[in-house]
Each structure stands twice: as C-alpha cells, then as structure tokens.
Structure 1
Amino acid sequence: MGHLNRTCGLLFKSVCGLLLCSALLPAAWAAHPRTFDLYMPEAPPLSMAGDAGQQGIVADAARQAMTLAGYHMNINVLPWLRAQRTVQHGQDLLIVPLSRTPDRETSYTWIAPIMSMDRAFFTLDKRVDSFAQARRTYRRIAVGMGSAQERKLYDEGFDASQIYPLRIGENPAQMLLLGRVDAWFNGVPESQYIWRQVSKQPLLMSPVLMTTDLYLACSKTCSPRVVSSLRKAVETLHRNGSIQRLLDHYLPAAP
C-alpha cells in the first residue's frame, strides 16, 4: 500500500509539473520572441545596409511591422537574384521590396504592400513617351538585374542586346554620365535619390510607364500565423501614418 501511495504521489507531481510548464510556455515565448531572417538588396532609398532605423523605406517599415507583431528580425543584404532564390527555396524567410508581378505570384506568400513604385526611363538627352519609342531610340538601357522592370522590358519586346542588367555595386547614374548606357529604366524615387548624390545635371524622365506595389513577402512555405500577424501590423502602420512618415523622411520634396 505504501508503494502505491508513493507511485501516486510521484505521478501527481509529474502531472502538476507538466501543467505548470504548459502554463509558463506563453510567458517563455513572450520573453524570447521568434527571430526571422529578412532578405533585401542594396537599393537606396528603399533598402540599404545600415543601423536600425536607417535601412530605407521598406526595410524600416518591415522592422516596425516585426516589432509591432512581437518578432525580431535579422537583415541579410544580398544581390537581388540570390535573395529571391534564397527566399523561394526556404521556409519562413522574409523579403523586401518585392514587386507583385504575374510571374512571381506562385513563388511567394504575399503578406502586405508597403508602398507603390512608379517606373520610368531616365536619360540625359533623349526623352521618350512610350515603350515603343524607347525600343526605337535606345541602344543600351541600364536596368536592375532580376528586377520587375527588367522583366517588363523583355515583355515589351526589347531585344536582349538593348538590355544591360546591373549587378549590385554598378552605379547606373555614373554609367549614364559616362555615356556607357543611353537610358536607365528604374523606379522614380530610387533614381531621383541616387542622381542627387552624383550630379547636378538635369535628368530627363519619361512619363510613368509601369507601376507595381512593393510587398513584404515570405517564402512559399510560411507560417499562416506569422503572415496574419505581419499583415495586420503593416495595415496598422498605414493607418497610423508611420509609412507615410518614412516616405517623407527618405524622399523630401525636391527643391
């Protein structure tokens, strides 16, 4: 009988221990929030290496959303094609700033749009008004490698010999100044931001010929709970004006 009582006592303590651990789990999770890897290119003022709060519009917005959702984030700056492949083939990996285009639709889990991006042709002396005119006018067009605008040029019938994909570290503004390319097809705010760093010479811009939303996205295999919490967080940042303040900070009105 004594042996039975000791056995029951040990069992009771084990059950109580399990219940106590279960009760403490939420507190443990709160004390040690999950950390996620976010991948992005060096593409100022959208995303760039730097201290927290100085990493560009979409990177800063992503960090604010992560904090609001109760997560931590590690930044990984990679060439854009490599960043995309890494996230596509991974699990619970985040990426910005990714344009939501038809050819990418099934490769990612789309969390929420952070901002929209207009694209146009930039040149020093040969302004165009359409893709058709650009095909006839430009012999060599600088464009970001692996970008939505590179895909757009191929879709619009540009010959491969006209398209000069740029890798990380190649400065399209300098290439335009040196005459190595005739034009630059790129996001409007990014191009204007970069141009102000390198030249006071007037930069001619075509009408906006392409517009897409830039998303915070995740791997195709991604936790639904994470997607839901980050989507709500980004929506909150839009509603409370946080993302607009980032836009105003990084893209002050031109003089």
Structure 2
Amino acid sequence: MGHLNRACGLLFTSVCGLLLCSALHGAAWAAHPRTFELYMAEAPPLTMAGEAGQQGILGDAARQAMVLAGYHTTVSVLPWLRAQRTVQQGQDMLIVPLSRTPDREASYTWIAPIMSMDRAFFSLDKRVDSFAEARRTYHRIAVGLGSAQERKLQDEGFDASQIYPLRIGENPAQMLLLGRVDAWFNGVPESQYIWRQVSERQLLMSPVLMTTDLYLACSKSCSPHMVLGLRKAVQTLHRDGSIKKLLERYLTAPL
C-alpha cells in the first residue's frame, strides 16, 4: 500500500509540474509577444505589397487578426509557388490567401476562412457556360501559377497546351487585350479589379464555375497556441463587421 501511495504522489507531482510549466509558458508568451512571418502573393485586391492598412482584403484582415491576438508581424510578398513552399517547409509561418483544396489539405495548418472566392472564365469575344465548353472553345487560358484554379483546370481535363500559367509580374489583362491568350480563369473580384485599371472594353464572364474559401493558414508545424488565438481573432473580425468593411472598401472604392 505504501508503494501505491508513493506512486500516486509522484504522478500527482508530475501532473502539477506539467500544468505549472504550461501556465508559465502561456504567461511568458503573453508578456513577450512573438513576431511571425506572413507570406502573401501580389494579387490585388486580395493581397498586395504596401503599408499596413493597404495590403489588400486578406492582407489587412490577417494583420488585424495578428494585432487582435497580440502578435507582431513581418510581411513578405513572394511569387506564389515560392511562398507556398517556404511556408510548407517552415515552422510557425503564416500565409494568405490560400484556398483549402484536397491536394493542399495535409500540407498546412488551416486557421480560419476569411472570405469566399468565386472563379470564372473571362474573355473579350467568346463567353462560355461550362468547363466542357471552355475546353472546346479556348486554345490558351491564362491562370495563376500554383493557384487553385490552375489545379482545377488540370482536374477538369484541360490539355497542358491550353493552360498558360502566369508568374508574378505577368499581367493577364494585358495579355487578353493583346490576344496572347483567349481567356482568363481567375477569381471574380480580383479580375474585375485588375480589368478596371487597364481597359474600358466589355469583359465577358462565364457563370461562376468554382468557389472556395480563402484561408489564413500556417505551416504544418505550427504553434497550437497561435492557431487558437488567431482563429478566435478572425471570428471576432467576422462578427464585428471588420472583414465586411474591408470588402466594401477594396471592391467599391474608386481606383
């Protein structure tokens, strides 16, 4: 019986020690806020290089969530494929705007959705109503390199010769105007925002053919403490209307 009492005592002491360490760790975290890296693509009006408060809908939302959760942030705007690889291979690195698709599910820690994104085909003279019609109609389709829409075209059976992946700095709207591509498969608000800057010609749009939520995500190896804090912060930004205000500001304001 004495051995049992001593074993129970040791177990109690160990549990208490773990609880105390956890509490001290949480207190230290709160007293000394950490700085985390946030990776984004140049994809206005969703994310863009600029001063705080001028980094696009999801860039601003992510920064607001970080402040609300008590963290500091440094922002890096990189080509989208490089940004994804950097975050996947790193630890405690954040990324926006990331569609939560089956092929990405196991590569990230998904914190919270910030907004929903509709995708469609855009062209100047040939409107389509389906992926099947687009496969028959368009010879060359501009699409973001490493994007969810590039993967969608692959999954829908488009030939590799039909898919023209665009790197950072290549302007799909200008390519459409110059006739270098027949169509552009992209997010609706992003495409309309960019088109307003380059032309007054009518842009033909298909029905919405793809919709995903755009997430604030983290490396697969990510602090549960940070994930919980940021998830609550994003939920707060939805509840208090902050994200709705960002959508209105970026999508309706004059350029």
One-letter amino acid of the counterpart of residue 176, structure 1: L
Name the aligned partner's letter for residue 242 of structure 2: S
Decide whether aligned partners of structure 1 residues 39 and 138 sit closer, same or farther in structure 2, where only a CA change above 3 A counts. same
Alpha-carbon distance in 2 for matches of 1:55, 1:128? 33
Residue deviations 1:9-65, cap 9 Å, x none? xxxxxxxxxxxxxx9987765454110000010000000000000000000000000
Residues 142-221 of structure 1 aligned to structure 2 (within 5 Å):
142-221=142-221
Among all aligned residue pairs of Structure 1 and Structure 2, give the percentage whose two residues are the same amino acid: 84
* Deviations, residues 90-119 of structure 1 (Å, cap 9, x unaligned): 000000000000000000000000000000
The whole-number CA distance in structure 2 between the counterparts of 1:149 and 1:25 is 42
Deviation, 1:71, is 0.2
Residue matched to 1:124: 124
For 2:162 and 2:231, locate their aligned partners in 1 and report how far apart those are by CA, in whole Å.
39
Q: What are structure 1's unaligned runs of at least 5 residues?
A: 1-22
Unaligned runs of 5+ in 2: 1-22
Counterpart in the other structure of 1:10: none
Corresponding residue for 1:13? none
State the superposition RMSD in angstroms: 1.6
The alpha-carbon deviation at position 128 of structure 1 amounts to 0.1
State the one-letter code of the partner of 1:154: Q
Match of 1:89 in 2: 89
Counterpart-to-counterpart distance in 1, 2:124 and 2:28: 59
The one-letter amino acid of 1:181's match is: V
Question: 1:178, 1:24 → 2: CA distance?
Answer: 61
Q: Give the SS at the match of 1:133.
A: helix
One-letter identity of the residue aligned with 2:69? A
AA aligned opposite 1:137: T
Separation of aligned partners in 1, 2:26 and 2:140: 57
Query: C-alpha displacement at 1:83, in angstroms?
Result: 0.3
CA distance in 1, matches of 2:29, 2:207: 50
Name the SS of the counterpart of 1:215 in structure 2: strand
Q: Given the superposition, is the C-alpha separation of residues 110 and 71 from structure 1 closer, same or farther in structure 2, using an over 3 Å criterion?
A: same
Q: Encode CA deviations 1:176-230: one digit per residue, 9 max, x unaligned.
A: 0000000000000000000000000000000000000000000000000100000
Q: Which amino acid counterpart does residue 38 of structure 1 have in structure 2?
A: L
> 1:112 maps to which residue?
112
CA distance 1:135–1:222, shift in 2 (3 Å): same
Alignment of 1:62-81 (within 5 A): 62-81=62-81
Partner of residue 46, structure 1:
46
Higher alpha-carbon Rg: 1
**Number of paired residues?**
232
Q: TM-score, length-normalised on structure 1? A: 0.88
AA paired with 2:43? Answer: A
